[in-house]
Chains A and B, each alone.
Chain A
């Protein structure tokens, strides 16, 4: 009994609770300000209004349809863009002539700010799922391709020479030298790709809000109806999913790269 009590106390002592001060203070200030009507409740609703909306939304079919549609587009775009990115990055990294031929175009196009493509894509491919997925793929493609390229190029000449001395075949060269060497950098790219895909998912829904369903559409509808609790709720969900993707990617990366030892 005493031991377990000590364990519990130890746990609470070990956790650094100071990180909670800022958010708790923020919510407290918000509640107090709303309670005493210091702020316009239409503009800044009280926290419980947000909770109420959240509770309603969690039982609303619309919300889940939107969430599902957003996640589906996000993941399809990420898979397509990520695969294309790895393939193009490998080709650019391995083959000098491929690099000479397409490298300059690739580098010029990557400077075009992502959202600038959207007016073009929406004109050419419409406003439905396929156009959005194309846009999200594009968002995921660049960071993945760029980092894969850098990963392949990070193989040093001496490493290659050692492999040649051991008489590695072409496929051994790829699977035993280049891919393991490039994997950490490819993961950096995939993680960035995941972040950019989510940015593009939400961005495309906000910009093409009148078409289709999604989290972004819910938020924009909240804005049009001046339903601030709905906007805050949507924003929190969008942010939390983004943070969740980040954590997930970091965890997968740590697991897959465990063979590298406790380097980091």
Chain B
């Protein structure tokens, strides 16, 4: 009897051990992949440093990595980087709010009403294919080059993806759900808030994510074109001073913010989708 328990115990220990080994292996394998991902950037970095040491290119064209690093901390200490980044992020937030609301409104209107669709969609379809940057010279005439221009231009970039995915999200709600709502005698408001909105939410959010990424794209453009503050302006400033280290920092920071935005929104999106799966 006791030997039997003993065996059981040993078996148990053994599975536990394999699990640990498997985890360690998995981690190693995973970090192996991560490590190989660093090879290419490291080679580029080494070449960059070598190019500096061998004086292949003038510093005004290619500053050494060490200088970029140093300038990075200087810009943080002086507040130039943080202040400008904050300005840019505030612009994004306002535009996503304004453009997103407009997009939701239009998307809901043309998604729920056939009549609204017939009147609005053909115009929307043509206008939405205009590149966002094409609007900016005209907006500059009407709004000047102040904050209004930036908010308007960036909001425009958000409207299109949010509208399209809201519309598609609502159209793809299974008709059976609306029928159930009818059976329960839902009012129009209830149908909207309890059926259409929750069912379309994942699609809407995916539109919001695309909208934020589009906003980030046009923000950089409009700040490069006409601005006195913001991360894009910081790059223009560095470019004019022939300080390419500042331009490099601009590129890296813009990339990092892009990664963080994308990652956060994707995370929320995946959470929304799990909610949806468990609901049905």
Binding site for B on A (CB under 8 A): 16, 18-23, 43, 97, 100-105, 108-109, 111-120, 122-124, 195, 198-199, 202-203, 206-207, 219-220, 222-223, 226, 228, 231-232, 234-235, 238-239, 242-243, 246
Which of B65-73, B190-198, B215-223 contacts its partner? Answer: B215-223
Count the A-B residue pairs with Cβ separation under 8 angstroms: how many? 141
Interface CB pairs A-B, < 8 A, 12: A23-B123, A97-B36, A101-B37, A112-B255, A115-B224, A116-B254, A119-B235, A120-B248, A206-B136, A238-B130, A238-B134, A239-B131
Are A113 and B216 in touch, CB under 8 angstroms? yes
Asked if A16 contacts B134 (CB within 8 A), the reply is no
Residues of A near B258 (CB, < 8 A) are 111-113
CA distance A124 to B247 in the complex (A): 12
List of A residues within 8 angstroms of B248 by Cβ? 120
Nearest chain B CB to A54's CB is how many angstroms away? Answer: 15
Q: Are B37 and A232 in contact (CB under 8 A)?
A: no
Q: Does B14 contact A (CB under 8 A)?
A: no
* Residues 217-273 of B contacting A (Cβ, < 8 Å): 217, 219-221, 224-225, 232, 235-236, 238-239, 244, 247-248, 250-251, 254-256, 258-259, 262
Stretch of B5-13, B15-23, B48-56, B113-121 on the interface side:
B113-121
Q: Quick one: which of A109, A119, A232 contacts B250, CB cutoff 8 A?
A: A119
State in angstroms the CA–CA spacing of A203 and B141 once bound together.
17
Query: Is B41 part of the contact surface with A, judged by Cβ < 8 Å?
Result: yes
- B141–A111 CB distance below 8 A: no
Question: How long is the Cα–Cα vector from A43 to B139 in the complex, in angstroms?
Answer: 11
B247 touches A123 (CB 8 A): yes
* B118, B129, B220: most-surrounded residue (chain A CB, <10 A): B129
Cα distance, A122 to B135, chains bound together (Å): 23
User: Assuming A105-B40, A116-B235, what are 11 further A-B pairs, CB within 8 angstroms?
Assistant: A18-B115, A111-B258, A112-B254, A115-B220, A123-B244, A199-B132, A202-B134, A235-B134, A239-B129, A242-B129, A243-B129
Q: Is the CB of A116 within 8 A of B250?
A: yes
Contacts of A226 in B (CB 8 A): 141
CA distance A18 to B40 in the complex (A): 56
Residues on B with C-beta less than 8 A from A120 are 244, 247-248, 251
B79 within 8 A of A: no
Report chain A residues within 8 Å CB of B130. 235, 238-239, 242-243
Chain A residues closer than 8 Å to B188, beta-carbon distance: none
Q: A113 to B137, Cβ gap below 8 A?
A: no
A199 touches B61 (CB 8 A): no
Q: A21-B119, A116-B235 are in contact. Are A231 and B251 (CB under 8 A)?
A: no
B280 adjacent to chain A (CB < 8 Å): no
Q: In the complex, how many angstroms separate the beta carbon of B238 from the nearest chain A beta carbon? A: 8
Distance in Å from the Cβ of B198 to the closest Cβ of chain A? 27
Q: Which residues of chain B have C-beta atoms less than 8 A from A223's C-beta?
A: 137, 140-141
Q: Is there an interface contact between A220 and B137, defined as CB atoms closer than 8 Å?
A: yes
Answer whether residue B28 sits at the interface, using C-beta atoms and an 8 A cutoff. Answer: no
B176 within 8 A of A: no
Structural contact, B141 and A43, CB atoms closer than 8 A:
yes
Q: Which residue on B lies nearest to A203, using beta carbons?
A: B133
Pair B255/A19 contact, Cβ less than 8 Å: no
Q: Shortest Cβ distance from A73 into chain B, in angstroms?
A: 14
Q: Given A112-B251, A115-B220, A119-B235, is A235 in contact with B135 using a C-beta cutoff of 8 Å?
A: yes
A136 to chain B, nearest CB (A): 12
Contact between B133 and A206, CB atoms less than 8 A apart: yes
Minimum CB distance partner of B40 in chain A: A105
Which residues of the partner chain B approach A23 to less than 8 Å between Cβ atoms?
Answer: 123
| B122-180 CB contacts (< 8 Å) to partner A | 122-123, 126-127, 129-138, 140-142
Q: Are A123 and B37 in contact (CB under 8 A)?
A: no
Q: CA A117 – CA B232 in complex, angstroms?
A: 11
Q: How far is the CB of A68 from chain B (nearest CB, A)?
A: 18
For residue B279, CB closer than 8 A to chain A, the reply is no
Chain A: minimal CB distance from B117 (Å): 9
The minimal Cβ–Cβ distance linking A234 to chain B, given in whole angstroms, is: 8
Q: Which residues of A contact B247 (CB under 8 A)?
A: 119-120, 123
What 6 A-B pairs are tightest by C-beta distance, nearest first?
A19-B122, A104-B37, A239-B130, A111-B258, A112-B255, A243-B129
Once A113-B254, A115-B220, A203-B221 are accepted as A-B contacts, the answer to whether A101 and B138 lie under 8 Å apart by CB is no
With CB as the reference atom, state the residue of chain B lying closest to A111. Answer: B258
Closest A residue to B123 by beta carbon equals A22
A202 touches B251 (CB 8 A): no
